[in-house]
Amino acid sequence: MPNVLTAEQIEQFHKDGYLVVDFGLDHQFLDTIIDKINPLLGAEYHNNPSAPARVQDAWKRVDEVRVLATRPNILNALEQLFGRKPLPFQTLNFPVGTRQSPHSDTIHFNTKPSGFMAGVWVALQDITMDNGPLIYYPGSHTLPEYSMEDFGLGSSESFYKEYEVRIRQLVEERGLQPAFGVIKKGEALIWHANLLHGGSEQRDLTQSRHSQVTHYFFSGCRYYTPMLSKSGHVHYRDPEWIPVANRPHSPPGFFRRGFGRLRKAWWRLTD
């Protein structure tokens, strides 16, 4: 497949830590994703549609979500940016803005060697300043990959709120200036895992803000969860890859569990 990004786009990504790309996505296809996600959002969301909500790994139930996550020209663009084969492992579908505090994905996902994780955020409708666009800090991907230990926190999800406080302090101390993901329906924003980003204020709570995020690792790495890791202990992950073809997403449980145990044993021996 021919390259889909120009040299200028690649340079911009490495400079800013993100890139907005129009991959030519069919709008009717995106509407189908919205329609099929809607019943999966649950009663809590439908009783209060302005409340933040999401569906994780809907690719297992909605094939259009899988198709978007594995779209060939998106995979091609990621391979151009990172020089390795991208491996999608998680999807998140949102009906409204997250209003999430700034964070780096490297607290949730990372690799050895580091730097081989990325996110792709696709606007399923037009995103404006009123319906809660992404907020991100250009160039912040060049900062150190801060861990819980770097902030003097424990390696547990229970410290995550304190982590968010420390990141907000870091933004202020560094004088980082925000940018906002005001993009058109069908456009995608690719971001580097270490880019500080979150969800901005939603000015109009009556509006929806449908989007899909896919997280990607890359080949030739080991994968782990930094938030649950600490000195002397790495919390490795065994990702469930999203299949490019429409087929069962994992081998039979017995064989998959057995292979996973063998692989983890090998990794322990080679640490």
- Amino acid sitting at position 179: A
pLDDT of 52 reads 85
Distances (CA, A) of 20 to 130, 175, 182: 20, 24, 10
Q: What are the residue boundaries of the structural domains of the chain, listed by start? A: 7-270
- In the 8-state DSSP scheme, what is residue 236? B
Classify strands 134-136 and 222-224 as parallel, antiparallel or unpaired: unpaired
Per-residue pLDDT reduced to its tens digit, 102-149: 999 999 999 999 999 999 999 999 999 999 999 999 999 999 999 999
Residues recorded for the chain:
271
For the ranges 39-48, 76-85, 114-123, 161-170, which has the lowest average pLDDT? 39-48
Say whether 261 sits in a helix, a strand or coil: helix
Angle at 32 between CA 29 and CA 35, to 5 degrees: 160
pLDDT at 1 over 70: no
> In whole angstroms, what is the distance from residue 67 CA to residue 59 CA?
8
State residue 211's pLDDT score.
Answer: 97
The mean pLDDT value for 82-90 works out to 98
Give the end-to-end CA distance of the chain in Å, rounded to a whole number.
37
Distance CA 117, CA 90 (A): 12
**pTM score, two decimals?**
0.89
What pLDDT is recorded for position 2?
A: 76
Under CATH, which number does the domain 7-270 receive? 2.60.120.620
Share of the chain above pLDDT 70, in %: 90
Residue 84 pLDDT class (50, 70, 90 cuts): very high
d(C-alpha 183, C-alpha 189), whole Å = 9
Mean pLDDT of the region 57-83: 98
The mean pLDDT of the chain is 91
> What are the pLDDT digits (tens) for 148-189?
999 999 988 999 999 999 999 999 999 999 999 999 999 999
Spatial neighbors of 126 by CB under 8 A, at least 6 apart, are: 183, 184, 185
* CA distance linking residue 139 with residue 177, whole number of Å: 10
- Asked if residue 4 lies in contact with residue 77, where contact means CB atoms within 8 angstroms, the answer is yes
Residue 88 DSSP one-character state: E
The continuous run of DSSP H or E covering 268 comes out as helix 253-270
Give the model's pLDDT for residue 232: 85
pLDDT at 234: 93
Predicted local confidence at residue 256, as pLDDT:
45
To which H or E segment does residue 254 belong? helix 253-270
Q: How confident is the model at residue 75 (pLDDT cuts 50, 70, 90)?
A: very high
252 pLDDT tier (thresholds 50, 70, 90): very low
Q: Which residues contact 116 (CB under 8 A, 6 or more apart)?
A: 82, 84, 217, 218, 220, 221
How much is the pLDDT for 261? 54
More confidently predicted of 263 and 6: 6
The answer to whether 75 and 42 have CB atoms below 8 angstroms apart is no
pLDDT for the residue 247:
59
Q: What span, in angstroms and rounded, lies between the C-alpha atoms of 79 and 262?
A: 29
How confident is the model at residue 249, as a pLDDT?
47
pLDDT tens per residue across span 202-226: 999 999 999 999 999 999 999 999 9
What is d(CA 50, CA 68) in angstroms, rounded to the nearest whole number? 25
